């Protein structure tokens, strides 16, 4: 678990699209921050900045007190879980989950242990020999999460990982993700446009609009005291 601090982070694309504008916030170690807001609010860009996939135009991104602006994504020890599951189609679930460890030169015994531990936690042990095409959407999503877990990253980043699941599966999956993040005592940033997901997953929620932070706090606090009409409307959506 790791602490993340953003200090006045901005990202301007092509000299004029201000995707993220002077955002300052903190994610405490072991906590989940949900970035919420409508499409185009700058959620994915902010997540990609934390991951190091984008470089800030201004401001600082720190992890555990160290500025990481100039640290390559692969050296940030972060795991990203996307909407489109990053599973290799020609590999089994076991091979997918163990891939990063294999690349890192871990022994077969350790890979086996870590993959099986993660698979147990996710209740996908019976699926380890299957290939992604032989899994349902929800199972694929769990396998992708398993791939992230076995790496024991210092931070988990999620970009709308559940948005292509049907509503019932989505509700079950978000509870499961919450349980796993709690069990792992993981630090996480989770992007969604769905306030129900924000409520279920966020220790804190940050509401964004057009690249600007509107409000940050516990979901219930925001619900009770929205700072402006935009936030109030967002909190009333279905
Ligand atoms: N690579 C890019 N080049 C130019 N504009 C971009 C790029 N990525 C995102 N944007 C713009 O930045 C804004 C925020 O986008 P994004 O972070 O994807 O929002 P969200 O994830 O909240 O839907 C949008 O106006 C989008 O068009
Ligand atoms: Mg997005």
Most confident listed range (84-98, 133-147, 163-177, 208-222): 208-222
The reply to whether 145 and 168 lie within a common domain is: no
The reply to whether 83 and 67 lie within a common domain is: no
What pLDDT digit, counting tens, does each position of 108-132 carry? 999 999 999 999 988 999 999 999 9
Structure token digits, residue 51 = 């991951």
The reply to whether 167 and 125 lie within a common domain is: no
The reply to whether 68 and 83 lie within a common domain is: no
* Beta carbon of 43 within 6 Å of any ligand 1 atom: yes
State which of 152, 183, 206 marks the end of a domain.
152
Structure token digits, residue 120 = 């147990």
The reply to whether 62 and 44 lie within a common domain is: yes
Whole-number pLDDT of residue 74: 87
What pLDDT digit, counting tens, does each position of 7-42 carry? 999 999 987 899 999 999 999 999 999 999 999 999
Q: Rounded distance, CA 182 to CA 136, Å?
A: 25
Q: Is 210 exposed, middle or buried (0-12, 13-18, 19+ CB in 10 A)?
A: middle
Share of the chain above pLDDT 90, in %: 77
State which of 106, 121, 152 marks the end of a domain.
152
Closest ligand 1 atom to Cα of 38: 22
Q: Rounded distance, CA 89 to CA 86, Å?
A: 9
Instruction: Give how many domains the chain has, as a whole number.
Output: 2
* Beta carbon of 40 within 6 Å of any ligand 1 atom: yes
* Beta carbon of 13 within 6 Å of any ligand 1 atom: yes
Closest ligand 1 atom to Cα of 46: 17
The reply to whether 140 and 232 lie within a common domain is: no
In DSSP notation, 172-202 reads HHHHHHHHHHHHHT-EEEEEES-HHHHHHH-
State which of 152, 185, 213 marks the end of a domain.
152
What pLDDT digit, counting tens, does each position of 37-46 carry? 999 999 999 9
Whole-number pLDDT of residue 102: 95
Domain limits for position 124:
78-152
Residue ranges of alpha helices (H) inside 13-136 are 43-51, 93-103, 108-122
Q: Rounded distance, CA 152 to CA 88, Å?
A: 20
Return the residue matching tokens 């967002």.
234
The reply to whether 123 and 163 lie within a common domain is: no
The reply to whether 56 and 126 lie within a common domain is: no
Q: How far is CA 103 from CA 100, 129, 131, 150, in A?
A: 5, 20, 20, 13
Share of the chain above pLDDT 70, in %: 98
Q: What does the mean pLDDT of the chain come to?
A: 93
Which amino acid residue places its CA nearest to atom 21 of ligand 1? 44
pTM (whole model) above 0.85: yes
């Amino acid at each position: 678990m790791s602490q993340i601090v953003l200090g006045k982070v901005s990202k301007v694309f092509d000299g004029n699209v201000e995707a993220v504008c002077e955002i300052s916030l903190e994610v405490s170690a072991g906590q989940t921050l949900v970035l919420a807001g409508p499409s185009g609010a700058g959620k994915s860009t902010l997540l990609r900045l934390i991951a190091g996939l984008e470089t800030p135009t201004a401001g600082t991104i720190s992890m555990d007190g160290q500025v990481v602006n100039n640290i390559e994504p692969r050296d940030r020890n972060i795991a990203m879980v996307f909407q489109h599951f990053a599973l290799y189609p020609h590999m089994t679930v076991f091979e997918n989950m163990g891939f990063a460890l294999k690349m890192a030169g871990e022994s077969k015994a350790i890979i086996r242990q870590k993959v099986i531990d993660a698979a147990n936690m996710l209740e996908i042990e019976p699926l380890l020999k299957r290939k992604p095409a032989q899994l349902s959407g929800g199972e694929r999503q769990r396998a992708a999460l398993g791939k992230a877990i076995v790496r024991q990253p210092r931070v988990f980043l999620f970009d709308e990982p559940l948005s292509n699941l049907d509503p019932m599966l989505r509700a079950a999956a978000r509870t499961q993700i919450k349980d796993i993040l709690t069990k792992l005592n993981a630090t996480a940033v989770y992007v969604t446009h769905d306030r129900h997901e924000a409520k279920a997953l966020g220790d804190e929620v940050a509401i964004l609009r057009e690249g600007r932070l509107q409000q940050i706090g516990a979901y219930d606090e925001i619900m009770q005291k929205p700072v402006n009409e935009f936030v109030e409307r967002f909190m009333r959506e279905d």
